[in-house]
Amino acid sequence: MRIPLIQVDAFTRRRFGGNPAAVCPLNAWLDDDTLQAVAAENNLSETAFFVANENDADVDYDLRWFTPTQEVDLCGHATLAAGYVIFRHLRAGAGQVVFASRSGPLRVFRRGDALALDFPRRPARAARERPGVAAALGAAPRHALLSERDDLLVFDDAGAVAGLEPDFRALRAFDGRGFIATAPGADCDFVLRYFAPALGVDEDPVTGSAFCVAGPYWAERLDKGRLTARQISARGGELVVEMAPDGRLHIAGHCVEVLSGEFTVA
């Protein structure tokens, strides 16, 4: 059995920037062990798989995401990449695509020459910094907040975030948690880095789902409904984050296709 594979660099205008995602369109779902094996073989932060949805008139495809070690409940860059693949290869004239996912319905739509995600907001609540987190990151944040999946750690400036040298083994001990290090930006509204060793990704190049947490925080702090942001990983990424009037979040960016081929799975 052969399945298509398209690799897309998401949240960037240039090849070999942003966050690479593998996208595999399927005619029907394969067993979970095979999906996980394909994601491990890709060895990218996420591989997205989708299958046409024939049962719900409001949904186009069912979508799932796997890191090299496990399935996750939400992934921004691989969703943007999946939308890009559908617009470019499957539904060239479409203006939007709707996915069913473990995080509910997710929409990708065209916004000028970019694509945008319609995602849930995941606001964080103020909390005491958890013991061991600052030591694992290598620096103490100014503020610590908690969301459903991630710690949001706010630093004074972009230099402090860029200079972090985390102890990934120590962070891995916080099972199932990701860590968003964020600060005001010099040439944008805010910057962030994202670490998730417990999910199989030491540092993610660009993390759409992290902006579901950081976006609402900075929108409130800066009193702005539309913000520009950068993820300052080694590859880097640029995003526009907008608070939608329906309580959702729009995260816009560009995609570049860099590779296509086939997986032989049986």
Catalytic residue among 46, 203, 238, 242: 46
Q: How far apart are CA 251 and CA 179, in angstroms?
A: 19
Q: How far apart are CA 37 and CA 51, in angstroms?
A: 18
Q: Do residues 66 and 24 make contact, with C-beta atoms less than 8 angstroms apart?
A: no
* 3-state SS, residue 184: strand
Would you call 139 exposed, middle or buried from its count of C-beta atoms within 10 A (0-12, 13-18, 19+)?
middle
46 given a catalytic annotation: yes
Q: Do residues 150 and 133 make contact, with C-beta atoms less than 8 angstroms apart?
A: no
What the block records as the tokens of 238 is 């640029």
Active site residues: 46
